[in-house]
Amino acid sequence: MASSYQAVMGRQNEIMKRAVGFDYQQFEQTSLAFDYEAMMDATGFDLAQVRRVQALTGVGNTPLYELRNITKLARRLAPPGCGARIFLKDEACNPSGSFKARRAAISVYQAKQLGYEGVIAATSGNYGAAVASQAAMHGLKCIVVQEVYDSEGVGQPEILEKARACEAYGAEVCQLTVGPELFYVFLCLLEETGYFNASLYTPYAIAGIETIGAEIAEEILARTGRYPDAVVVTHAGGGNVTGTARGLRKAGATTTRVIGASVDLHGLHMASDGDFNRKSFTTGHTGFGVPFATWPDRADVPRNAARPLRYLDQYVTVTQGEVFYTTEMLAQLEGLERGPAGNTALAAAFAIAQTMPADQMLVVQETEYTGAGKHPTAQLTFARQRGIEVRRGDPRSSQPGRSIIIPERPEQIRVQEYPLDDLRRSYLRNALRQVKNRQLSQLDVDFLRADSRARLELIEQVAAEQQVRLP
């Protein structure tokens, strides 16, 4: 078959259909709308079954710590009567060192059940190591495709560490420079090998995360007699938010607020060769968090099961320096050395807890392992080598890609609100471009309201801007 970029991209739908073993077409309703809940149910895995599958490989049931010392510090800085109790779900205790093991456990199990010889994942992060780990446990082959290098052949320490971890679990790692070739190479490998697409964004992967939310709800309820008031989730591609929120709801925590947190990397383009190595976080930042919220179906499957706007009650950002500071704070006050991505949510939680009543509870939903290239020392050393200023001071004066300002005092850790209606407006503009004949059906309107939680007035406003008619 023709192997040119255009030819392979033209076959992407048929390649994906063979590689996922999942018929997305049955859920399509219009050129815009699809039945999201039916798609999620079609996995055949309910929460109890997901738990049984994850238990086969020692995934899940991770510790939940109360961060008493960090809570005490937050209360010292908070107004009288404020300072919510802060808890932390320690996902670093999963086999591959992050919550991504939950996603991978279901995808790899499904691949084994369907008779695939191997699995492929396109990721530069913890998910690759998780897929490789689970594939080893199930006796499947594994290929991980990574964007690692800029055009000068320089790779980020954290991504290189992930490659090392994948290879340690026996996976073949295909390393690329940043650019559009990632998806092309991924498709070529799926077609050539006939392996299963262990995508981050299938319903299987999202179902795997639901157990985090359920465990948090059940454990807080058992320990305190009620559900948590809020859960803070590091937000990147949206799967973490989606799965955790769905799990909370399934366990009965229907009023718990879901707060997304990302590192502010505004102005840096993730597919830019020049910007690629000017960031010190490979995930959990606005470079993924905003694009995937405003158009989820940019993913490597026909319909993305990660739909963050369906579940976010609040979205905040923190700076790189604040996350590095929080990483040290967690280690030195609580004796837990964990990686920077999960600490994005902890940095936000530390600030948010100070605004909540002292009798409320706030849960940070995950941690990840640290060490080697994932350690703050490696990341900051790399930043200095790339000409980025690293110093102490007011973190709000930092400029992504130019400076990392690490707080001098804990009271300098703050959050910046990201208005959800701004995300919804961008989402609606992207969605309305998919509409045929510039005419929405009632089914389309109902889908848009569910998928973005936008008010009807906002939908009407954006539709008028885009010259799309409502029913």
From residue 60, alpha-carbon distances to 103, 321, 343, 358, 396 in Å are 11, 30, 19, 29, 36
| φ/ψ of residue 14, rounded to 5 | -70, -35
The SS3 of residue 229 is: coil
First to last CA, the chain: 44
Cβ-proximal residues to 205 (8 Å cutoff; 6+ apart), any chain:
103, 104, 106, 107, 198, 199, 239, 243, 305
pTM score, two decimals?
A: 0.97
228, 68 in Cβ contact below 8 A? Answer: no
| φ/ψ of residue 280, rounded to 5 | -110, 10
128, 166 in Cβ contact below 8 A? Answer: yes
The confidence score (pLDDT) of residue 258 equals: 98
- Residue 17 CB-density burial (10 A; 0-12 exposed, 13-18 middle, 19+ buried): middle
Comparing CA positions, the residue from 455, 450, 446, 445 lying closest to residue 425 is 455
221, 227 in Cβ contact below 8 A? Answer: yes
Distance (Å, rounded) from C-alpha 455 to C-alpha 449?
A: 7
pLDDT in tens, 330-386: 999 999 999 888 899 999 999 999 999 999 999 999 999 988 788 899 999 999 999
For residue 113 the two structure tokens come to 């059940």
Comparing CA positions, the residue from 281, 285, 276 lying closest to residue 240 is 285
Distance (Å, rounded) from C-alpha 384 to C-alpha 231?
A: 34
- Residue 5 CB-density burial (10 A; 0-12 exposed, 13-18 middle, 19+ buried): middle
The confidence score (pLDDT) of residue 387 equals: 95
Comparing CA positions, the residue from 17, 43, 2 lying closest to residue 190 is 17
Would you give the DSSP letter of residue 275?
A: T
For residue 438 the two structure tokens come to 């510039």
314, 420 in Cβ contact below 8 A? Answer: yes
CA neighbours within 13 Å on the CB side: how many for 356? Answer: 22
Q: Which residue has the tokens 């990483």?
A: 327
The confidence score (pLDDT) of residue 23 equals: 86
Can you list the residues of the chain whose pLDDT is less than 70? Answer: none
**Backbone region of residue 468 per phi and psi (left: phi > 0; alpha: psi in -120 to 50; beta: other values):** beta
pLDDT in tens, 265-312: 999 988 888 899 999 888 899 999 999 999 999 988 889 999 999 999
Distance (Å, rounded) from C-alpha 105 to C-alpha 97?
A: 13
Distance (Å, rounded) from C-alpha 219 to C-alpha 70?
A: 20
The confidence score (pLDDT) of residue 21 equals: 84
For residue 118 the two structure tokens come to 């191997």
